[in-house]
């Protein structure tokens, strides 16, 4: 974990915060430091996305990549930013999630379901967000959702899919399902996913990619949001970057 001694300016600022109210200028400095830390964590989470994207495409630059990413020791030191200071359990959850290494067969299965979500997203070219919920064992598609924020600002693809699932199947058997989304779930959707207890979440494009397409986002990674919910929720899988090479193009070319 990153030591604050590497950032004496930030350490001094945080020490000052503990003993006196922040002047307005200090508030701006600390806010800037915190935003920078979150951006570093978004990039860190993107490491996993890059590994999965390489596995999906079968290439890494000019060389061919193995469909299985290299395993990472979930207990080994990881350069997580200091925003996890004081919460070692959240840090451990983040390590474990970032260490996920799907094999070729599992990755192929995830791709199949992600393609269903991509097909749904094609119905909304201005905001290509969509999600499907499937039975993890049988592969049956149990629910689906397409972003409909024009009708309701909270109707993100994941939220619509969760509502669709409840309307069809009731509030039950969440431990049997997986959710696939064309984009990294925002903090609101991560909260809903945690509250209902979906154990496996797979997404394609990252929040950073969505931001580049001029769609405003909370700059909080799904890994961070999920890790911080560890007291009520611990998923088996939070897998980024599946078919991101396809969805990234859709976001870049979206209708504005």
Catalytic (active-site) positions: 158
What span, in angstroms and rounded, lies between the C-alpha atoms of 30 and 105?
46
Label the pairing between strands 200-205 and 237-239.
parallel
3-state class of 7 per DSSP?
A: coil
Contact 121, 146 (CB under 8 A): yes
DSSP calls for 169-232: H-S--GGGEEEEEEE---HHHHHHHHHHT--EEEEEE-HHHHHHTT----S--HHHHHHTTTTT
Structure tokens at 101: 């290494």
């Amino acid at each position: 974990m990153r030591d604050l001694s590497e950032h004496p300016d930030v350490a001094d600022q945080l020490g000052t915060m503990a003993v006196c109210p922040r002047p307005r200028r200090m508030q701006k400095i600390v806010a800037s430091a915190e935003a920078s830390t979150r951006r570093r964590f978004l990039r860190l989470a993107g490491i996993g996305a890059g590994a999965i994207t390489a596995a999906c495409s079968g290439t890494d630059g000019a060389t061919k990549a193995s469909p299985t990413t290299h395993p990472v020791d979930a207990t080994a030191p990881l350069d997580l930013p200091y925003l996890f200071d004081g919460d070692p359990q959240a840090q451990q959850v983040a390590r474990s999630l970032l260490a996920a290494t799907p094999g070729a067969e599992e990755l192929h299965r995830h791709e199949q379901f992600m393609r269903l979500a991509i097909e749904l997203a094609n119905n909304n070219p201005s905001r290509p967000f969509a999600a499907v919920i499937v039975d993890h064992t049988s592969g049956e598609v149990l629910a689906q959702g397409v972003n409909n924020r024009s009708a309701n600002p909270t109707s993100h693809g994941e939220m619509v899919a969760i509502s669709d699932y409840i309307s069809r199947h009731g509030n039950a058997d969440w431990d049997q399902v997986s959710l696939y989304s064309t984009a990294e779930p925002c903090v609101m959707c991560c909260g809903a996913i945690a509250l209902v207890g979906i154990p496996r979440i797979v997404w394609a494009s990252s929040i950073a990619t969505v931001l580049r397409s001029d769609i405003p986002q909370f700059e909080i990674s799904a890994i961070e949001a999920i890790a911080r919910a560890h007291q009520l929720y611990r998923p088996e899988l939070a897998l980024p970057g599946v078919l991101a090479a396809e969805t990234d193009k859709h976001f870049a070319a979206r209708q504005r």
